[in-house]
Amino acid sequence: MEVRIEHDSMGEVEVNAARYWGAQTERSRRNFPIGVGLETMPREIITAFGMLKKAAARANFALLPEKMTEEKCAAIFAAADEIISGRLKEEFPLVVWQTGSGTQTNMNVNEVIARRGAEMADEEGLLHPNDDVNLSQSSNDTFPAALHIAAVLSLEDRLLPAVEGLITTLRRLEAENADAVKSGRTHLQDAVPITFGQEVSGWRAGLERDCEQLRAALPGLYELALGGTAVGTGLNAPAGFGEQAAAELARMTGKPFVSAPNKFHALTSLDALVFAHGAMKALAADMMKLANDVRWLASGPRCGLGELTIPANEPGSSIMPGKVNPTQCEQVTMVAVQVMGNDAAVGFAASQGNFELNVFLPVTAYNFLQSARLLTESISSFDARCAAGLTANRKKMRENLHRSLMLVTALSPHIGYEKAAKVAKKAYDENLSLREACLALGYLDAAAFDAALRPEEMV
C-alpha cells in the first residue's frame, strides 16, 4: 500500500495515499478497532455533516470574508456536495465506538473536505481542516447539530411517509370490510361482535396518533447547537453565526431549522431526541400490536382462527410442503423489539449530560437512526407485502361469530344477566347453540330469541 505522511498537533502519521482523510482520522481508525466494518458512523450523520459544512461555509463567507474567501467557500461546497451525494462514502471508516463527542467524525469530515476540495480547485493546501472547514465551529456543537439534522430528515422525509402509506392501505381495508361482522375478542377469549372494518379502524387510528406524536417531536429537533462552539459561550464564532448557519440549512433542506436559543442546553441535553425516540417507541408498540393481530387472525389456515388470508410470499418450511407463514408480521415484531431496546439506550445516553457536554453522542446517533431506518423499511415492506394483500375470510368470520357464546350478551336486557349466564353455561357444557340452550331452559320462545339476538345489530 502506498502511503503519504500526514501530520496534526501530535506529530506525523502514515495514511493510505489513496484516501482523502488525514492524520486525526487515521489515529481514530487505529485506536478504536471496535465493530470495524459493522458499526461505522451512520450514513445519515455523514450526509448531515456535509450539509452542515456547506451552511457553515456560507455563514463564514458572510461574516468573516477575510478568512472564508469565495474560492475557499466554493471548494468546501464542491467537496461537501460529493459527501451528500454519497460519492465519498468510502472515506468515512470510523466506528461509533470512538470519542463520545464525535470529535473524530467531525475531523474526518473536515479532513476529507479539505483535501478533496483543494483537489477539485486544483490548488494544493487551499483548505485547512481546522482553520477553514471547521471555522467558527467545534465538534461539540457540530455533532449534536448534525444529529438533529439527520433525525429530522429521517423522520419527516422517510418514516412519516412510510407510516402514511400504511394508513392509506388500512383505510381501504377498513372501507371494504365495513359490513363484515365477526366475533370480537378480549383476553384472547370470545367477546361481542365487531365488524372487521371497525377492527382495522383501531389499527389505523393508532398509526395516525403515532404520526401526530412524531410531528410533535419535530420542533425540538429543529433547534441546532451550531454557534455554541466548545461549551455554549460561542467562543471563536462571530456574532450571528449560529443564526446564519441555521437559516442556510433551512434554505437547503426546506426544513425550519433555527439556532437553539440556549446553547448551554443544546450542547449537553439530548431531551429532544429522547422525546422523538419515545414517539418511535410508541409507533413500534402499535406496529407490534397490529402485526400480532394479523398473524393471530390469519392463524391456521384450518386449525387456527383463519379469519384473514395473508399473501403467500415464500415457502414457510424446509420440511412441511405448502406451509405459508406470517413472515412480514414476524419481521415487524422483531424490529419493534429492537426499537424498544434502542429506546433504553437513548434514554440512558441522554441521562449522561455532565456539566457542559454530553459525551454519548455517537451511540445516541447510532440507536436513534437505526430505529428510524428500521421502522421505515419494516413498515414499507409490511405495507407492500402483507397489508396490501390481506383479504377477509368472511365465511370463517361468520362461522366463528355464530359459534361464539358471547352473543348471549344480547339476551341480558331481556332475561337478565344471571339467566343469560346460565344459557351460556348450558350451551358450553352440552355443546348446544345458544338458541337451543335458551329454549331448553324456557327463558324465551323461538320468535323472541330470534328477535333479541341479531349479531349485525350488536356492532
Topology of the domain comprising 3-135: Fumarase C; Chain B, domain 1 (1.10.275)
Helix residue spans in 177-270 (DSSP H): 196-222, 241-253, 263-268
Measured on CA atoms in the order 233, 235, 239, 243, is the torsion positive or negative? negative
Catalytic residue among 317, 380, 381, 414: 317
Task: Tell me the CB-side half-sphere exposure of residue 144, using CA atoms within 13 A.
Answer: 38
How much is the average pLDDT of 395-403? 95
Q: What local confidence, expressed as pLDDT, does residue 341 receive?
A: 98
Q: What local confidence, expressed as pLDDT, does residue 357 receive?
A: 98
**DSSP letters of 60-129?**
HHHH-TTTS-HHHHHHHHHHHHHHHHTTTGGG---BSSS-TT-HHHHHHHHHHHHHHHHHHHT-TT---I
State pLDDT tens for residues 327-361: 999 999 999 999 999 999 999 999 998 999 999 99
State pLDDT tens for residues 403-420: 999 999 999 999 999 999
Q: What local confidence, expressed as pLDDT, does residue 109 receive?
A: 98
Q: Which amino acid is at 184?
A: G
**Nearest-angstrom CA–CA distance, 400 and 193:** 10
Q: Could you tell me the three cell numbers for 52?
A: 452542515
Which residues 6+ apart lie within 8 Å of 80 measured at CB? 50, 51, 53, 54, 57, 113
State pLDDT tens for residues 294-321: 999 999 989 999 999 999 999 988 999 9
**DSSP letters of 16-33?**
ETT----HHHHHHHHH--
Same fold? 3-135, 404-457: no
Q: Where are the domains of the chain?
A: 3-135, 141-173+184-226+259-393, 404-457
Domain 404-457 belongs in CATH node 1.10.40.30: yes
Percent of the chain with pLDDT over 90: 98
Looking at the domain that runs over 141-173+184-226+259-393, which CATH code has it been given? Answer: 1.20.200.10
Closest CA to 249 of 35, 386, 48, 46: 48
pLDDT band of residue 190 (cuts 50, 70, 90) is very high
Q: What local confidence, expressed as pLDDT, does residue 239 receive?
A: 98
Q: What average pLDDT does the structure give for the chain?
A: 97
187 is catalytic: yes
Contact present, 396 and 404 (Cβ < 8 Å): no
How much is the average pLDDT of 431-458? 95
Q: What local confidence, expressed as pLDDT, does residue 199 receive?
A: 98
Q: What local confidence, expressed as pLDDT, does residue 319 receive?
A: 92
Catalytic residue among 7, 28, 138, 187: 187
State pLDDT tens for residues 199-218: 999 999 999 999 999 999 99
Q: What local confidence, expressed as pLDDT, does residue 283 receive?
A: 98
How much is the average pLDDT of 256-269? 98
Closest CA to 69 of 126, 119, 138: 126
pLDDT band of residue 184 (cuts 50, 70, 90) is very high
How much is the average pLDDT of 118-146? 98
Kindly list the distances between the CA atom of residue 90 and the CA atoms of 20, 37, 87, 254, 368, in Å, as whole numbers in the listed order.
Answer: 10, 11, 8, 28, 23
How much is the average pLDDT of 440-451? 96
Q: What local confidence, expressed as pLDDT, does residue 39 receive?
A: 97
Q: What local confidence, expressed as pLDDT, does residue 60 receive?
A: 98
